[in-house]
Structure 1
Amino acid sequence: MTTTPLHPLVTEARRLADGLLAPSARRVDQEGVPAGHIEAVRRSGLLGVSAPEEYGGAGAPDPVAREVAEILAGACCSTWFVQTQHHTPVRLLTKAEPGLPARERLLRPLATGELLGGIAYAHVRSVSRVQVRATDERGGLRFDGTVPWYTGWGLNDVMLLAGVTEADEVVFAFTDARERPGLRPSPPMRLAALTAARTVSVELDALRVPEDAVVLRTPREEFARVDLPRSTNTSPAVFGVAYAALDLLGDTADERRTARSLRARLDEVRARAYALADHPVPHEHVEERLALRTRAYDLLRAATTAAVVAGGGRAMSLDSPAGRLAREGMFLLVQGQTAPVRQAHLAALASL
């Protein structure tokens, strides 16, 4: 659903979705995201949607980036999930101090799609324990511990890795996304949904990273403060998958009526959620952001359930787009989940 003037990258995302991603989504779901899909995303320019123009990116505004994400997620959620990891290192490098060695070395190849980035930092959101310890050593850092989730293994070129120091400081640094002494991936995880996204855990045993690979050091408390509004906003993928599920309805009058009703409610929540995402003060309206995120989950669940109900027994086949979207919707319930998000969602479910 377009709410902004048509941007060339939105047109490109639709071309890629209609011509490649959606037609092969069933196969990808069962066999894994192929390198050819990532190569197509690289060539499309979508990896640089939000990157600065002076570094080879498109410098597109946030509404364009959100719409691109919706389109990709609705067409093939697994491919979307691999490539969406890339945008976090791009944003972090864009905000970094000019002249920082990691910024000058990596921002351009990431913005142009020459390199694909992945992220290994969700574990630092845990307040109960430190899963990856970063230790300052002469000339750089040593990382030890376990990264529980790393998506895109075998497809990504570089990894944005985070650990916590003894001084309770979060350190972000870049390293190559390949097996070597000090960095060992698990076999690919078999998950209830998005196994295709090539997710592994990563064991770190005295992995040494040079100081010039560091992009950010920040107190853990400050990281949590900055991360809060980011994690309470609704992911565009939720809307993309929900709209894709509603697109499967239409064979009967009952299906069309259901689709119209749910689409109208999705449109309303989407507009309100994106308005808050664009709010100039990111730490305001946190409760409303959480409520809208929870409401979006409700509508996602209703949309994918409607697609399954309309599909009947066919929806139980692994070949069924309705069944695939329902599993992808389940995955999105926990993607990017933090303690405040979990608490708000459970409280909303308890009041049903």
Structure 2
Amino acid sequence: MTATPHPLVSSARRLARELLVPNAERVDQGEVPASHIEAVKRAGLLGVGAPKEYGGADAPVAVARETAEILAGACCSTWFVQTQHHTPVKLLATYDSPVREKLLRPLATGELLAGIAFAHVRAFPRVLVRAVPERGGWRFEGRVPWYTGWGLNDVMLLAGVTDTAEVVFVVAEAREQPGMRPSAPMRLAALTAARTVSLELDGLRVPADAEVLRAPREKFALVDLPRAANASPAVFGVADAALDLVARTPDGAEPARTLRARLDEVRREAYALADHPVPHESVPERLAVKTRAYDVLRAATTAAIVAGGGRSMALDSRAQRLAREGMFLLVQGQTAEARRTHLGALASG
């Protein structure tokens, strides 16, 4: 956590206090409204890590983590929609491409909202979306199993795999169009409000100047694996919010203090590993700490349910919402290696 609040941290806290928390249970039973995303934009949070020369804040990574914790703890559905945006921003800022000059500024300032459609690449050697080179650009065939923010996002970062095992990232418009058809919004146990659909790609054509990056799959995996092995700030944000509930109950003050000490310890370890100068090193250690973070999250949200008693069974219960959001975070961005590590830790007690 930052010692002196950064302006964006103060903005995130104000947004959480005045808008997200008071409306979180209503949003959970419906959908993230466009007005919530507009409020995130006005707070400057869509550009938290974007370069200043393109209109972003270029804030330290500690600030990005803290604002993510605040948003996730306040309304995880809103956090999940807007968190997709930061990956396309980072990729465009990192790699020079024709589309960079066209899109990085409107994304950094929040004029446009971006989503992501590339988690399916982790299923390799299964190829769920094929990228086929053709004259003037690329054609995409297959199915994107999960795409969040449909109806809110303006553009998406889409990835496919070529016949030569290259991963191709492009930017496409996030709307129904020839070659791309969305499913009905998914009904999920948690975060239905985040407007998640699957996408059928049947000859979606994207021009060559929309390409962001093309890399061998091995290179993509080398970058993606350590990132996916790190504990998400959202885990700490939801756990914090659950412990706040516990602490306000008659018997909850001491359990909340004990669990918060555990949470603070694992947070420090997780962020220290995430800041390792060689990203692809220490992956087993990252996964072990990530699993411990899940343990504390599960304990915190369970404590909130227990402390709330029978009221926790109501659909408008904050404790129940946080418990379901915690369940979602157990599998969000999950890789096969993370799943094996987590299951092994559960089996060993």
Asked whether the two chains share a fold, i.e. TM above 0.5, the reply is yes
> What is aligned with 1:150?
147
Are 2:284 and 1:287 equivalent residues in the alignment? Answer: yes
Q: Following the alignment from structure 2 to structure 1, what is the Cα–Cα distance between the partners of residues 32 and 250?
A: 36
Are 2:326 and 1:316 equivalent residues in the alignment? Answer: no
Q: Following the alignment from structure 1 to structure 2, what is the Cα–Cα distance between the partners of residues 350 and 223?
A: 31
Aligned-residue offset at 1:281? 1.1
Aligned-residue offset at 1:127? 2.0
> What is aligned with 2:267?
270
Asked whether the equivalents of residues 25 and 318 of structure 2 are also in contact (C-alpha less than 8 Å), the reply is yes
Q: Following the alignment from structure 1 to structure 2, what is the Cα–Cα distance between the partners of residues 253 and 140?
A: 63
SS at match of 2:168: strand
Using structure 2 for the length normalisation, give the TM-score: 0.99
Asked whether the equivalents of residues 4 and 63 of structure 1 are also in contact (C-alpha less than 8 Å), the reply is no
Are 2:27 and 1:28 equivalent residues in the alignment? Answer: yes
> What is aligned with 2:7?
8
Q: Following the alignment from structure 1 to structure 2, what is the Cα–Cα distance between the partners of residues 48 and 292?
A: 29
SS at match of 2:49: coil
Aligned-residue offset at 1:6? 1.4
Are 2:256 and 1:259 equivalent residues in the alignment? Answer: yes
Q: What fraction of aligned residue pairs are identical, expressed as a percent?
A: 74
Q: Following the alignment from structure 2 to structure 1, what is the Cα–Cα distance between the partners of residues 247 and 189?
A: 28
Q: Following the alignment from structure 1 to structure 2, what is the Cα–Cα distance between the partners of residues 304 and 336?
A: 20
Aligned-residue offset at 1:254? 3.1
Q: Deviations over 1:253-307 (max 9, x none)?
A: 5311100000000000001111111111112211111111000000000000000
Q: Following the alignment from structure 1 to structure 2, what is the Cα–Cα distance between the partners of residues 242 and 234?
A: 13
> What is aligned with 2:48?
49
SS at match of 2:281: coil
Counterpart mapping for 1:1-352 below 5 A = 2-97=1-96, 100-252=97-249, 254-352=251-349
Q: Following the alignment from structure 1 to structure 2, what is the Cα–Cα distance between the partners of residues 25 and 301?
A: 20
Matched residue type, 1:212: D
Task: Tell me the number of residue pairs that the alignment of Structure 1 and Structure 2 aligns.
Answer: 349
Aligned-residue offset at 1:180? 1.1
Asked whether the equivalents of residues 51 and 57 of structure 1 are also in contact (C-alpha less than 8 Å), the reply is yes
SS at match of 1:208: strand
Q: Following the alignment from structure 1 to structure 2, what is the Cα–Cα distance between the partners of residues 147 and 336?
A: 14
Using structure 1 for the length normalisation, give the TM-score: 0.98
From the superposition, tell whether residues 141 and 298 of structure 1 become closer, same or farther in structure 2 (CA, over 3 Å).
same
RMSD over aligned CA atoms reads 0.8
SS at match of 2:4: coil
SS at match of 1:333: helix
Structure 1 gaps, min length 5: none
Q: Following the alignment from structure 2 to structure 1, what is the Cα–Cα distance between the partners of residues 136 and 105?
A: 25
SS at match of 2:280: coil
Q: Following the alignment from structure 1 to structure 2, what is the Cα–Cα distance between the partners of residues 149 and 230?
A: 19
Q: Deviations over 1:132-169 (max 9, x none)?
A: 00000001000010000000000000010000001110
SS at match of 1:249: helix
Matched residue type, 2:68: A
Q: Following the alignment from structure 2 to structure 1, what is the Cα–Cα distance between the partners of residues 10 and 337?
A: 36
Asked whether the equivalents of residues 249 and 307 of structure 2 are also in contact (C-alpha less than 8 Å), the reply is no
SS at match of 1:51: coil
From the superposition, tell whether residues 247 and 164 of structure 1 become closer, same or farther in structure 2 (CA, over 3 Å).
same
Q: Deviations over 1:16-66 (max 9, x none)?
A: 000000000000000110011011111111000000000000000100000
Asked whether the equivalents of residues 65 and 233 of structure 2 are also in contact (C-alpha less than 8 Å), the reply is yes
SS at match of 1:202: strand
Hey, which bits of structure 1, 4+ residues long, moved more than 4 A? none
Q: Following the alignment from structure 2 to structure 1, what is the Cα–Cα distance between the partners of residues 153 and 189?
A: 22
Matched residue type, 2:232: S
Aligned-residue offset at 1:252? 4.8
Matched residue type, 2:299: A
Aligned-residue offset at 1:181? 1.1
Asked whether the equivalents of residues 117 and 158 of structure 1 are also in contact (C-alpha less than 8 Å), the reply is yes
